[in-house]
Amino acid sequence: MMQHHLILRVVVKILAPAIILFGLYVQFHGDYSPGGGFQAGVIIAAAFIIYGIVFGLKQAQQVLPGWVVHKLIALGVLIYAGTGIYSMMAGYTFLDYDGLSPAYPTGGQHNGILLVEFGVGVTVTGAMVTIYYAFAGRPPRISDEEW
C-alpha cells in the first residue's frame, strides 16, 4: 500500500533499530535516569508499530509473528512471578530481593529490580504490539462515500 513512499521507508528503516536501542537504554538504565519497564516496552513496541505502518502488517508479522507476541505477554509475567517465587523458595517473602543472593543483599536487590522491570517490559511490548495487530488486522468498515 505504501510502496511509493521512498523517503518514509528509508527513514523508518534507519530509525527503527535506533528506537529499539533507545528502548533498551530506558529499560536497563532506568534505575539511574527516568525510565523503567513500562516506558521501555512502549518504546520498543513503537518501533514495531512504525515498521508495520510503513512496510505493511504482513511484513511486520514476518519479523514478529502473532504467536510469538502472545508468548511474550505470558513470558513477562512468568519472569516477574518467577523472581518472586524464587525468593520464596530461598526462604524469604514473595518478591523480597534479598533472597536472590542472601550473602550480598544489595546485589540481590539490584538484580531483582532489573529482572522484575525486564518482565514488565516484555509484557508491555507484547501487549502493545498485540493491540496494534488486532486493530490493523481487521478491515475498516467505513466506505469512501460516507466521508
Partner 1 sequence: MMFAVAAIALFASMILVMIRLFAGPTLYDRVIAVNVFGTYTVLFIGVVGFLAGRPDFLDIALLYAIINFVGTIAVLKYFRYRAIGDLRPLTRKEETGL
Binding site for partner 1 (CB under 8 A): 1-2, 8, 12, 15, 19, 22, 26, 33-35, 39, 43, 46, 49-50, 52-54, 56-58, 135-145, 147
CA 60 to the chain's CA centroid? 15
Query: Closest Cα to residue 57, out of 125, 129, 8?
Result: 129
Q: Compute the least distance from the CB of residue 69 to partner 1, in Å.
A: 15
Angle between helices 105-137 and 6-28 (to 10 degrees): 150
Q: Compute the least distance from the CB of residue 98 to partner 1, in Å.
A: 29
Is the CB of 13 or the CB of 93 nearer to partner 1? 13
Q: Compute the least distance from the CB of residue 139 to partner 1, in Å.
A: 4
Q: Are 50 and 92 in contact (CB under 8 A)?
A: no
Classify 58 as helix, strand or coil: helix
Is the CB of 11 or the CB of 74 nearer to partner 1? 11
